[in-house]
Chain A
Amino acid sequence: MLDLDDKGFLKSLRMLRIVTRRFFRGQKVGQRKSQRKGASVEFKDYKEYQPGDDPRFLDWNVYGRFDKLLVKLFHNEEDLQVFVLVDSSASMQFGSPSKYDHARRLAAAISYLAASGLDRSLVMTFADGLSRLSTPASRPGHVFHHFRFLEKAEGGGPSRLEKSVDEFLSRTKRKGAVFVVSDFLTEGVQEALRKLRFNRHEVFLIQVLSEEEQVPTLAGLVQLVDSETGNQRELYMDAAAIEAYRQVLEEFTGGLESFALGQGITYVKSSTSAPFQSTILQLFAPRGRS
Chain B
Amino acid sequence: MSFLAPTFLALGLLIPIVVALYFIKSRPVRQVVPSDRLWAEVARRLQSNSLFQRYRHSMFLILQVLALTLGVLALARPVTRGPVPRVVIVLDRSASMRATDVAPSRFELAREAALAAVHALPADAAVALVLADGQVGLRHGFEAHPADVAATLTSVEPTDLPGPDPEMLAGVLADLLRQPVRTIHVFTDQLDGRWLCDRLPQASLEVTPFGKDTRNAALTRLDVMPARSAGGAKSTSRWAVHAVVTNFGSERVRARVKLSQKASLGEKVVEVPDKAEVGVSFGDLTLADGPLEASLAVEGPDHLQSDDRLWKIVGTGRTKVALVAHDPRALEKVLKSTRGIELTIVPAGYAGSPVIPSADVVITEGIDASLTRDRPALRFHAAAMGVAKTEVSPTQFDVTHPLLRYLSFKDVIFERPAVIPRQDRDQVVLGAPGVPLVIARNTLGTRQVDCGFTTRDTSFVYRVGFPIFVLNSLGWIAGARADSGGTLPTGTSVSLSSATGAVTLKDPVGLVVPSLARGAAQIPGATLNRAGLWTLVEGTRPRSLPMALQDFTESGLKPAQESPVIRVVAGPTDGPGRTSPWATLVLCALFLMVLEWALFARFGD
Interface residues of A (CB under 8 A from B): 90-94, 99, 183, 185-186, 210, 213, 218-229, 231, 233-241, 244-245, 248-249, 252
Q: Which 5 A-B pairs have the closest CB atoms?
A: A226-B36, A91-B34, A185-B35, A236-B57, A223-B28
A239 to B40, CA, bound (A): 17
Residues A248 and B46 in contact in the complex (CB < 8 Å), given A185-B35, A219-B605, A225-B32: no
Q: Which residues of chain B are within 8 angstroms of A224 by Cβ–Cβ distance?
A: 31-33, 36, 39
CB distance from B386 to the nearest CB of A (A): 88
Residues of A within 8 A of B39 (CB): 224, 233, 235, 245
In contact, B36 and A238 (Cβ under 8 angstroms): no
Q: Contact at B31–A240, with CB atoms within 8 Å? A: no
Which of B30, B31, B42, B57 has the largest number of chain A CB atoms within 10 A? B42
A215 to chain B, nearest CB (A): 13
B34 touches A227 (CB 8 A): yes
Closest chain A residue, CB of each to CB of B23: A221
Establish whether residues B28 and A226, one from each chain, have CB atoms under 8 Å apart when the complex forms.
no
Is A239 in contact with B603, judged by CB distance below 8 angstroms?
yes
Contacts of B57 in A (CB 8 A): 221, 236, 238
Contact present for B46 and A91 (CB under 8 Å): no
Q: Is the interface of A mostly helix, strand, loop or mixed?
A: mixed
Instruction: State the Cβ distance, B36 to closest chain A Cβ, in Å.
Output: 4
Contact B42 A235 (CB under 8 A): yes
Extra A-B contacts (12), CB below 8 Å, given A99-B34, A233-B39, A248-B38: A92-B34, A213-B34, A222-B29, A222-B31, A223-B29, A224-B36, A225-B31, A225-B32, A233-B36, A233-B43, A237-B605, A240-B46
Q: B339 near A: Cβ within 8 Å?
A: no
Q: Which residues of B contact A183 (CB under 8 A)?
A: 34-35
| Nearest CB of A to B585, in Å | 30
Question: Using Cβ atoms and an 8 Å threshold, which residues of chain A touch B43?
Answer: 233, 235
Most chain A CB within 10 A, of B35, B43, B53, is at B35
B279 touches A (CB below 8 Å): no
B31 nearest in chain A by CB position: A222
Q: What is the minimal beta-carbon distance from A168 to any residue of chain B, in angstroms?
A: 22
A–B pairs, 8, beta carbons within 8 Å: A183-B34, A218-B31, A220-B29, A220-B605, A224-B31, A238-B604, A239-B602, A245-B42
Chain B 367-407: CB-based contact to A (< 8 A → 1; otherwise 0)? 00000000000000000000000000000000000000000
Q: B33 contacts which of A221, A225, A234 (Cβ < 8 Å)? A: A225
CB-CB under 8 A from A225, the residues of chain B are 30-33, 36
Chain B residues with CB below 8 A from A99, complex form: 34
Residues of A within 8 A of B30 (CB): 222-223, 225
Q: For the complex, what is the distance from the CA of A244 to the CA of B27, rounded to whole Å?
A: 22
**Which of the residues A94, A234, A238 comes within 8 Å of B28, measured between beta carbons?**
A234
Most A CB contacts (10 A, CB to CB) among B27, B36, B57 go to: B36
Q: Is the CB of A233 within 8 A of B40?
A: yes
Q: What CA separation (Å) do A12 and B30 show in the bound complex?
A: 40
A183 and B53 alpha carbons, distance in the complex (Å):
30
Q: How far is the CA of A210 from the CA of B38 in the complex (A)?
A: 14
> B36 near A94 (CB under 8 angstroms)?
no
- A222 to B42 Cα, complex, angstroms: 13
Interface contact B605-A238, CB-CB below 8 Å: yes
Interface residues of B in 20-61 (CB under 8 A from A): 26-43, 45-46, 53, 56-57
Are A185 and B27 interface neighbours, CB within 8 A?
no
Given contacts A233-B39, A252-B38, contact A223 B45 (CB under 8 A): no
Q: How far is the CA of A225 from the CA of B36 in the complex (A)?
A: 7
Complex-state Cα separation, A90 to B41, whole angstroms: 20
Bound together, the chains give a CA A229 to CA B37 distance in angstroms of 10
Query: Given known contacts A221-B28, A233-B39, A235-B39, is B33 in contact with A240 (CB within 8 Å)?
Result: no
Q: A245-B39, A248-B41, A248-B42 are in contact. Are A221 and B27 (CB under 8 A)?
A: yes
Nearest-neighbour CB distance to chain B for A234, whole angstroms, equals 5
Query: Who on chain B is nearest to A245 by CB?
Result: B42
Across-interface contacts of A239 in B (CB, < 8 A): 602-603
A185 to B27, CA, bound (A): 28
Residues of B in contact (CB 8 Å), total: 27
Chain B positions within 8 Å of A237 at CB level? 605
CB-defined contacts of B38 to chain A, threshold 8 Å: 185, 245, 248-249, 252
Contacts of A210 in B (CB 8 A): 34
Instruction: Report how far A91 CA is from B42 CA in the complex, Å.
Output: 18
Structural contact, A226 and B35, CB atoms closer than 8 A? yes
Give the docked Cα–Cα distance between A23 and B252 (Å): 123
| CB closest residue in chain A, given B26 | A221
When the two chains form the complex, which single residue of B32, B34, B45, B604 contacts A185, counting CB atoms closer than 8 Å? B34
Q: A91: which B residues are within 8 A, CB to CB?
A: 34-35
CA distance A235 to B56 in the complex (A): 11
- Give chain A residues whose Cβ lies under 8 Å from the Cβ of B42: 235, 241, 244-245, 248
Q: Which of B31, B32, B33, B45 has the most chain A CB atoms closer than 10 A to its own CB?
A: B33
A239 to B600 alpha-carbon distance, docked (Å): 10
Q: Which residues of B contact A238 (CB under 8 A)?
A: 56-57, 603-605
Contact indicator B45/A244 (Cβ below 8 Å): yes
Chain A positions within 8 Å of B41 at CB level: 248
CA distance A262 to B506 in the complex (A): 133
Q: Is the CB of B29 within 8 A of A221?
A: yes
In the assembled complex, which residues on chain A have CB atoms less than 8 Å from the CB atom of B37? 185
A219 vs B31: C-alpha distance in the bound complex, in angstroms? 11
Q: How far is the CA of A241 from the CA of B49 in the complex (A)?
A: 11
User: How many Å from the CB of A211 to the closest CB on chain B?
Assistant: 12
Closest beta carbon of chain B to A271's beta carbon, Å: 14
A219 to chain B, nearest CB (A): 5
Smallest CB gap from A237: residue in B = B605
Q: Nearest Cβ in chain A — how far from B599, in angstroms?
A: 10
**The residue from A93, A186, A223, A245 contacting B31, defined by CB atoms under 8 A apart:** A223
**Are B27 and A94 in contact, with the CB atoms below 8 A?**
no
Q: A227–B32 contact, CB under 8 A?
A: yes
B581-605 vs A, CB cutoff 8 Å, 1 = contact: the mask equals 0000000000000000000001111
A249 to chain B: closest residue by CB: B38
> Taking the nearest CB of chain B, how far is it from the CB of A13, in angstroms?
28
**A236 vs B59: C-alpha distance when bound (angstroms):** 12
Write the nearest CB–CB distance from B548 to chain A, whole angstroms. 85
- A90 to B35 Cα, complex, angstroms: 9
Could you say which residues of chain B place their CB within 8 Å of the CB of A234? 28
**CB proximity of B574 to chain A, nearest CB, Å:** 43
CA distance A131 to B211 in the complex (A): 108
**Given A220-B605, A233-B36, A240-B28 contact (CB < 8 Å):** no
Residues of B within 8 A of A227 (CB): 32-35
> How far is B35's CA from A242's CA once the two chains are assembled, in angstroms?
16
Q: How far is the CB of B354 from chain A (nearest CB, A)?
A: 107
Chain A residue contacts of B45, Cβ below 8 A: 244, 248
Distance in Å: Cβ of A217 to nearest Cβ of chain B: 10
List, in ascending order, chain A residues with CB within 8 A of B53's CB.
240
A219–B35 Cα gap in the complex (Å)?
Answer: 18
Q: What 0/1 readout, one digit per residue, does chain B (164-175) give for beta carbons within 8 Å of chain A?
A: 000000000000
* B603 adjacent to A240 (CB under 8 Å): yes
Q: Which of B31, B36, B603 contacts A229 (CB 8 A)?
A: B36
For B34, the chain A residues whose CB sits under 8 A away are 90-94, 99, 183, 185, 210, 213, 227-228
Report the nearest A residue to B39, measured CB to CB.
Answer: A224
Task: Please name all residues of chain B whose beta carbon is closer than 8 Å to the beta carbon of A94 when the two chains form the complex.
Answer: 33-34
Please name the residue on chain A nearest to B25 by beta carbon: A220
Residues in chain A near residue B35, CB distance under 8 A: 91, 183, 185-186, 226-228
Give B605's nearest chain A residue, CB to CB: A219
Whole-angstrom distance between the alpha carbons of A210 and B31 in the complex? 16
Instruction: Give Cα A216 to B28, complex, Å.
Output: 16
Contact residues in B for A218 (Cβ distance below 8 Å): 29, 31
B42: shortest Cβ distance to chain A, in Å?
5
Question: Distance (Å) between the CB of B31 and the closest chain A CB?
Answer: 5
B-side contacts of A244, CB under 8 Å: 42, 45-46
